[in-house]
Structure 1
């Protein structure tokens, strides 16, 4: 055997050895007795040999949703900025089901996904409206923990046992393997309201290992083969025990809409109104005295709809805050499970609800079962709304038990008057103005003066809705939106524009410009730790000639209403100076006597106007800003190119260019590129583009801006490389590097102090900005400290990068001072042109502040997020930039130390004298 054959044989042997090694290693890992199915599950469902073909029978629907308890040590839920302590959702996705050689035993493959985020909650509640938010293949958005399982299900016993694994992250960010066994009960072909799927998830990792977790209990409402046993589809008896309303007092459903369509979505929150005299110590609700408080809100979340779309199942939760409708509560001590059916004769939904009983000794869900089913609910859509009944949906809850029996509670009312009513569309809905006489007495509208040239919002426009910010600690935030304008109601959309016929009718019935209007006003206190929400329904008149809105309001109390409230708002003119006076001022006052217990101190309210006309005016401005941004970045490229030509033409000047200055320039252009790169692809940026702009050319302009900025960065990097190479080959490189290092020692402390000040400014702006317009309620309850710090760091980095670009000549001045050279290191076109580019945005910002209204996220050029812009900064920064440019000019003419006393200027001159020769 020659050498080549021996070499080939040795290679083949080596490859065979590696193959056998990895194969044996894999087999040993997969056959680890600790993770084998037979070790943990054979006593529940015996392991069987699967067939080759998939089977159509499945223990779950394709996506089975449920809840979990425990697992805090492995899920790290506190790191989620949108985490709700009551939101514990789990999803089982079935991938494949196979028959086996045992009858009624099937092999199942699937994934168990734990989720605590807001967006997945939306997919949870929308699962039954054929809306899919996340694909199961997108692992980055699947959940806090995602385990892949294989196991066997017994259709006869309803039990399933599965073994699976996944990876999670430790507190230090290290990836950890996780192995677990899943055990579930009550998975059968048919189910009803009393059937709950419960089980546990146990860790297969050792107790002393970092990847071990405590037992997690699970609860699911089965969806396969559900039978509606508590309600009749015909409902011949209606809702026994409920209030019978006149036939025409409730609206029926459109032919194109079913009750499932009306109540689908992410959940509906209802305000609860108890009978007079109810408090937490009395039995006024289905849960008795055990919970220790009186729930103020009820959430109704659909679990499943029947095939005929007339019957449906609900998870009914009771809580003290309305925002929990966005997060399906897993507090089953105050939860009901119900099934209902639509009564087409009486136009109402009748629901039978049952309590979910938990193990009293623990918070585990695996021992949960359905108990008392004597709670009844009815729900209807009123045909007429009014100031005392401004609700699109009303209903009642009562007990089917005898009055003297334990667990009986009095009738409870609930209502919903939300601004965004989701899929609810009601035909024939009307509003009845009942306080017209009181409005005439209390609202004396001022006549417009002859000199009044203000143009105020049209009463039928979207400008009538606004967000509220309080002027004191009593009001943290709020919202106000019209419920009805004239005879037109705000239903599904933010505002329903009236037709021309209704406008003419409205103007003909009134001799003046007054327009009847009704509002829903919501306020929340800012000082107390517990959220205190106030809802006021009001009706009155609006004068489009003066912008004055005056109404009589009714405040919703626990068991009554206070309708002695005067509400006033003054809108600002839409044609006023848009940099000033764009606030809506208002007040809410009690008209009761000072001795009355319901009287309250007047509330002063302010709101920022954001008129649609201003938004439309901003579109030409934004186009202009895009053009200015492209021109500025293009000129930056030209001036950097001039400097490159200058360095190549004058070979001796390259070493005298400050490398710190070039690094500052490059980083100044790189920072916005890095921070804005993700914005090109995020949904928020797309949403902003759709909101403010349209057309592919506008989107291309944004891409062009980024491309031009990238070219400027690359040219600056090229200039940095040229200067570095020139200095490295210079005979005076030691002197040059010494001057550079000394200059760096001066610049770094100044930059650090400046950065600290800059981030402090951004921190204050961020804290103040929290009380502004953008979804204050959501931020108030769910934003985290980490998210605030992230916003401060990113915002501060962009703004400080802009400030460093404004003063880009500062490192060159310090370098010239230490090097004391008269060389013309920078071409005039470079430092003068670049300085002018940095000055133009500040000049434009001064003009813009007095000519345009500020609209969030609408800045392209002179963006406040990428530099410091205000009247003071727009004066200080240009003066500073001009001073630096003038200093560079004088340094290159008279020397780097021309501004120092003579004795300091001479120190560098003697080094430049020629050495005397022997001749």
Structure 2
């Protein structure tokens, strides 16, 4: 080696490394200086709260509790940039400030604060507890999650002026996927260590980057309802003598709260939606809005969102929201504070009602929240829990909202009654709630008892079971015109196991002398949605909605006959919130199928009929409906069926392992026959086990399937699935081993050229057959499916199962072109595998008539993995046995035994040379 050259190279490398280090040092120094300049607190916040040196960490004084929630507007270029055009419902603009550290400084009443401000567009909330009560915050998560943006802030807070100013940064991605580093200054006002209903924290967050910088974002305005050291001043001042209310409520007609259940528990759920019911003088042409005539419409719904609960659990704060016209709150929350109220309430244990004082939020425009403040506080609300339900009142929570203003004063409105919506009904479960039957005499006239026809061995659902709830498909003269659901409210005089919040009165059950021993009093609530284009006359007399369908709510009560499965009721149809009209001239007739009936075709059938004269405006033509029966006993049987199918799947795969092992032994005992096995057939069999392994691997990470939700108990089902996967893996590896043996044997000598020619010709014949068959089946099935995923993906998977059922077809074609008599396949192999593929079709015939159809619950003979029907369950076994018989005859009479004799004799054969006595002579066409 030339040492001089080595020395020169070393010097050059050292010089280059030194130069690079210097460049990197000055680059980093420039970045640090730039960052320090941009984040210099004094340059952005010195005029708001002067900077001071931190001394000690403070644990008792803080501008916020550990986590303070709020709302925001703006920042559209970095927030709410979801690429999903079909995201539904629209996201709420919520945020949360997490306080990490608070330090005292050398300046009295000035504190250094460090924390995170998290923006998130989501409906997910989590509940946390603190010493100040119960708080509900937007769910915070890693800022990498779509829809969240997390800023790290540090700055100073003046307790005297109530101002907080902070600088910080955050990271997000642009629409093009580029990483953006956002620098911001946050300025908040009215940050006090104590607050009341008039205290609102408002402010702005501005970008520290110039407008032409890619990291720039639009200004963001912030609004928070302070939760630290809150004082309930309004409710204590206005309700010293109790909650007055506007409607006289009889004593003992409202339920009280127990010692173990507080009013905060009742409203802890976020979805507290109520439907407003206006007086008769209010209509679509006149605004009777609780927000004044300036709103331009009368809201249909109201939403109560609890902000905070007091330490004694008797007082609480609400954000009271009113959504846009003709929209339902749960689908349209948008944090529009111009149509919202802030309120505080207290539970009156003497009158058993919740009393709320509500205030307007003024100057909260859609573009900025910075100037928001609390305005007029002369709105009142009261809520109570009715003790008795009936066919005309099925609400478990009712209330009223009114104005304390003079009638001639601007903003006055008449008392508005509100009730919980049908989607929330029954969520409130208070002890002592009763149901009172009011239409018993009318039911007896409209619903005569039906006699038992024929078979008395039929058993029908128990009236107290969950089998009484069902879904409906509404049918018209031209087909399906809508859908709906029905669920019991009260049954007999016993607490219902599935609906324990309803306890009917003991006098509600009819005596045997009046209605028969088998009759049981029952009450229902039916929700129906009808396409407006298919409406009958009289279904929408008040033209309540202009969207694509009409919502109908029917309360009904009547008798259920457990001997015949007949349910007959008188119903009341509710005709809208702007009027109190109900149509109670309705008869509902339902027939349940027997528990021991055919599972596949069992349907619940019924009708909804109007008893009014045809000339009446509320009369409508009968609505016929039907629904699939899903009885609990059937579901239990289906769970047992799933366990059985687990065992069958393991047995099936175990037998496949045995048969392929026997085939491997067969080719090892007779090496000369190994090349005569069709490689295409072995590849198809290997794919039979590879595809389920891939699909199961994907499903293993998907925990949201319907089967996981209703059938997974403990780890037993998961362990069975692991066993199935393990056995499937062994079967796959053995098939790969057999394929490798055949491939290696065929590739070992040049003399096997005839085998490759036969394989190639077989491939040329099989592929067009497979493609043509797929096209024929897909064209034949197009009329029964309207989804691309179902027709292409689902159909191709089922067709692959059909190819597997005919796995012997490539071997038959291969034998034909080779005209081979070799015993290439062991009898155990081709007969055993044929049976393994055919048994599922026989089982499907049995399962179809003995078990209810439950989506995503099939483990063995899965309908999505093959063609299963009465016709296919006959065709496939016949085809499989036919192919097995051909293989048997080919290995004795020759590969072309089924062809015309002249074609067989037109081929001459040359015996190929053999290298050992173990190899059998192979024949090739000349």
Residue equivalent to 1:165: 170
CA distance in 1, matches of 2:767, 2:58: 67
* Partner of residue 636 from structure 1, selected from 632, 641, 656: 656
**Normalising by structure 2, what TM-score?**
0.83
Say if 2:729 is the partner of 1:710.
yes
| Residues 187 and 203, structure 2, Cα contact 8 Å, conserved in 1 | yes
- Residue 445 (structure 1) aligns with: 449
Q: Name the residue aligned to 1:535.
A: 553
Write out per-residue CA displacement over residues 496-538 of structure 1, whole angstroms, 9 at most, x where no aligned residue.
Answer: 7989999999768854322111111111224565453211111
User: Who is 1:519 aligned against?
Assistant: 524
Structure-2 residue corresponding to 1:354: 359
Asked if structure 2 preserves the Cα contact closer than 8 Å seen for 1:477 and 1:526, the reply is no
In structure 1, how many angstroms separate the alpha carbons of the residues matched to 2:411 and 2:97?
36
Match of 1:38 in 2: 40
* Change in CA separation of 1:641 and 1:537 when aligned onto 2, cut-off 3 Å: same
Q: Which moved more, 1:34-43 or 1:179-188?
A: 34-43
Q: Aligned pair 1:115/2:114, yes or no?
A: no
Q: Name the stretch that deviates more: 459-468 or 18-27.
A: 18-27
Q: 1:590 aligns with which of 588, 610, 622?
A: 610
Q: Deviations over 1:151-180 (max 9, x none)?
A: 324244433434222243746xx4533425
Q: Verify: 1:571 aligned to 2:592, yes or no.
A: yes
Alignment of 1:44-59 (within 5 A): 53=57, 55=59, 57-59=61-63
- Structure 1 residue aligned with 2:280: 276
**Scaled by the length of structure 1, what TM-score is found?**
0.84
Check whether the contact 1:671–1:798 (CA below 8 A) recurs between aligned residues. no
593-602 vs 465-474, greater mean Cα deviation: 465-474
* Matches for 1:683-698 after TM superposition, within 5 Å: 683-684=703-704, 688=707, 691-692=710-711, 694=713, 696-698=715-717
Gapped runs of 5+ residues in structure 2? 534-546, 915-926
The equivalent residue for 1:144 is 147
Select which of 430, 434, 456 maps to 1:430: 434
Write the distance in 1 (CA, Å) between the matches of 2:339 and 2:851: 52
Q: Which residue of 1 aligns with 2:484?
A: 478
Q: How does 1:587-736 map to 2 (within 5 A)?
A: 587-680=607-700, 682-684=702-704, 688=707, 691-692=710-711, 694=713, 696-731=715-750
Residues 682 and 229 of structure 1: is their aligned pair in 2 closer, same or farther, counting only changes over 3 Å? farther
- SS of the equivalent of 2:554 reads strand
Contact 2:185 2:207 (8 Å CA) reproduced: no
Is the counterpart of residue 381 in structure 1 residue 389 in structure 2?
no
State how far apart, in whole Å, the 2-side matches of 1:390 and 1:551 are: 16
My pick for the range that moved more, 828-837 or 7-16, is 7-16
Are 2:209 and 1:190 equivalent residues in the alignment? Answer: no
Question: 1:294-373 maps to which residues of 2 (within 5 A)?
Answer: 294-319=298-323, 324-325=329-330, 328-357=333-362, 362-373=366-377
Secondary structure, aligned partner of 1:596: coil
Residues 346 and 177 of structure 1, relative CA distance in 2, 3 Å threshold = same
In structure 2, the partner of 1:775 is none
Match of 1:83 among 50, 68, 88: 88
Within the candidate set 179, 182, 185, 1:179 is matched to 182
Q: 1:675 to 1:56 in 2, by over 3 A?
A: farther
Distance of 1:666 and 1:438 partners within structure 2: 68
Moved more, 700-709 or 93-102: 93-102
CA distance in 2, matches of 1:534, 1:812: 62
User: How far off its partner does 1:856 sit?
Assistant: 3.3
SS of 2:257 mapped into structure 1: coil
Please identify, of 23-32 and 471-480, the stretch whose mean Cα deviation from structure 2 is larger: 23-32
The answer on whether the counterparts of 1:267 and 1:326 sit within 8 Å (CA) in structure 2 is no
Residue by residue over 1:3-38, the C-alpha shift from the partner in whole angstroms, topping out at 9 and shown as x without a partner, is 999999999999998888777666655654499323
Name 1:779's counterpart in structure 2. none
Question: Partners of 1:332 and 1:566 in 2: how far apart?
Answer: 45
Change (3 A) 1:913 1:725: closer
Structure 1 residues 92 and 449: CA distance shift in structure 2, 3 A: same
Correspondence for 1:771 = none
Name 1:550's counterpart in structure 2: 568
Is this contact kept in 2: 1:584–1:609, CA < 8 A? yes
Change over 3 Å in CA distance of 1:393–1:647 after alignment to 2: same
Q: Decide which of 461, 466, 472 is 2:465's aligned counterpart.
A: 461
Q: Is the 8 A contact 1:515 1:542 kept in 2?
A: yes
Match of 2:406 among 387, 391, 402: 402
Q: Residues 99 and 443 of structure 1: is their aligned pair in 2 closer, same or farther, counting only changes over 3 Å?
A: same
Deviation at 1:246, TM superposition (A): 2.2
- Give distance in 1, aligned partners of 2:765 and 2:457: 58
1:71 shift after superposition? 5.6
Match status 1:391 vs 2:410: no
Tell me by how many angstroms 1:714 deviates.
Answer: 2.5
In structure 2, relative to structure 1, the CA distance for the partners of 1:159 and 1:836 (3 Å cut) is same
Distance of 1:497 and 1:428 partners within structure 2: 8
Deviation at 1:640, TM superposition (A): 2.4
TM-superposed deviation, 1:78: 4.8
CA contact (8 A) 2:436 2:505 kept: no
Residues 461, 497 of structure 1: 8 Å contact kept: no
Q: State the secondary structure of the residue aligned to 1:382.
A: coil
**Aligned counterparts of 1:126 and 1:878: Cα–Cα separation in 2:** 67
Q: Provide closer, same or farther for how the CA distance between residues 317 and 499 of structure 1 changes in structure 2, counting only shifts above 3 A.
A: closer
Q: Deviations over 1:200-244 (max 9, x none)?
A: 555667767877655554444332333323211893233446223
1:362-411 Cα distance to aligned partner (Å, 9 max, x none): 54444544443332211100111111111100111112221112222222
Q: Superposition pairs for residues 200-211 of structure 1, below 5 Å?
A: 200=204
CA RMSD of aligned residues (A): 4.4
Aligned counterpart for 1:267 among listed residues 266, 271, 278: 271
Structure with max Cα Rg: 2
Post-superposition CA distance 1:408-441 (Å, at most 9, x none)? 2222111126476576331222211111222122
What is the alpha-carbon distance in structure 2 between the residues aligned to residue 30 and residue 813 of structure 1? 76
Q: How far did 1:574 drift?
A: 1.2
Structure 1 spans left out of the alignment, 5+ residues? 768-787
Matches within 5 A, 1:98-113: 98-99=103-104, 104-113=110-119
Alignment of 1:8-19 (within 5 A): none
Per-residue deviation at 1:600?
A: 2.1
